Amino acid sequence: MNLTETLNWRYTTKEFDPTKKISEADMAKVKNLLRMSPSSVNLQPWHFIVAETTEGKARMAKGTQGFFHFNEPKVTNASAVVLFCSKIDADDAYYQHIAETEDKNGRFPNEDIKNGFLGAVKTFAGIHKYDLKDLQHWMEKQVYLNIGSFLLGVASLGIDATPMEGIDVKALDEEFGLREKGFTALVAVSIGYRAESDFNSTDKTPKSRLPESELFTEI
């Protein structure tokens, strides 16, 4: 599929075929999509819990109990579920870790450029931490950048996906001990292959978007 075909093909899957599984080779590509996502100043303020086993998906489904019960089949019938987690806080030690990792990967021709990068990270993070006082929210925005990239990326592999904010993040934080590790659950994305009976499939239901005349101002 070309880009336009992929955009028209993907949709939020409402019903997965539990008999169809993502191959090991494609799961490697899925994980690479997560790892290679862009983020502001390359902060990468995320962690991913990937559930492929029945036991793993059962643990993930603990976030779909009670009010969120309608999302449980989308977890248990999917081939895999990715829980996107965001850092709760970031400090100089983490910024230094990012800089050292970039240095090991050959990103800096010299020490001055490395120090300039580190200074930029601290500056922008400092603005959000001290001036705007929205550091955690800013880091969550970076995770959403990853989610957007992820949804298009898996579609390019012919894999269906369902992003879910309708989850009990507190239950998942407790299940995986996330807060103790400095993270909190944000969004779960189930991936797999659509069931033939899925009413929301683009094979059955046309996509609907606002017209270009409402969305674009060309200058």
Positions annotated as catalytic residues are 14, 74, 165
**Measured between alpha carbons, how far is 122 from 64 in angstroms, rounded to an integer?**
37
Q: How many Cα atoms within 13 Å fall on the side-chain side of residue 25? A: 1
Output the CA angle 147-11-211, nearest 5 degrees: 95
Polymer length in residues for the chain: 219
Radius of gyration of the chain (CA): 19
Residue written as token pair 């069931």? 195
**Measured between alpha carbons, how far is 96 from 107 in angstroms, rounded to an integer?**
14
